Structure 1
Amino acid sequence: MDVIKIIEKLPYAKPFLFVDTLSHIDSSGAAGSFCFQKDLDFYEGHFKQLPVTPGVILTECCAQIGLVCLGIFLLSETLETKTNDLSVVFSSSQMEFYLPVYPGETVYVSSEKLYFRFNKLKCKVKMHNAARELVCKGELAGMIKYSTHGA
């Protein structure tokens, strides 16, 4: 499955889509990027004097690129997916944050699969900024599956 099809199968849309590119994906992990445009709504109220990207949004960006995109890829290896009816349930996160991400910054996310069993995927994720500094890292897990109805 190519990266464009993977992004198209994501169950998100703007303004809650945090994947611009997928630069790498295989059965071991994924890598991609996202630019936090200055006009995103959450910047208006999150530290109004000096806007910064909320940690929950950074976690979501890591999950979309590193967990959900990888899950779509792994599912495509095991069954033919004729539907876009993807169910994602985020089950756990353990993240550590080191640097802020400001409006206009591009971040780069990479993941390493820890396991994928019974549709549960767990990954190590890392996010770096354009200066290659570590922004955050952690472990994320979720259940990922395609609906069998309508297929």
Structure 2
Amino acid sequence: MPQPSSTVDKAAPFAIGLFRLVIGLLFAAHGAASLFGVFGGAVGTNGGTVAAGAWPSWYAAVIQLVCGLLVAAGMFTRSAAFLASGSMAYAYFVVHQPDGLLPLQNHGESSALFCWAFLLLVFTGPGAAALGSLVRRPAAPPAAAAA
């Protein structure tokens, strides 16, 4: 892999880390709103919550809260982002798409944006300042000395 050659290239891991943190917190807040009624509550409930176990809204809210917190912290980022991206693709195509072709018509902008943002994190990884980078993998055994 080539070495970063400019200030922008050197700052990229920090920009990705900040992007990961913001996207994760926004996603977690959406899940917390649906599960606990905070931040105005679940969408369309006037401050209420989704019913426990209700398909798909309750499960989506759990995914939003858990994956959002994992992504924000930088723990299991790629796996959590993959699950979050898939859940938002489901939300877009099953919940929003039947109401119109374009996100502006079907009110699916946030689902589409979250889907693509998380998919980007699947490929870029967590960037800088991720808690997952503090957990070290076991060191490889030393190579046998040449005789």
Instruction: Name the TM tier (shorter chain).
Output: under 0.3
Which of 1 and 2 has greater Rg? Answer: 2
Q: Which has the higher helix share?
A: 2
Q: TM-score, normalised by structure 1?
A: 0.26
Q: TM-score, normalised by structure 2?
A: 0.27
Q: Which has the higher strand share?
A: 1
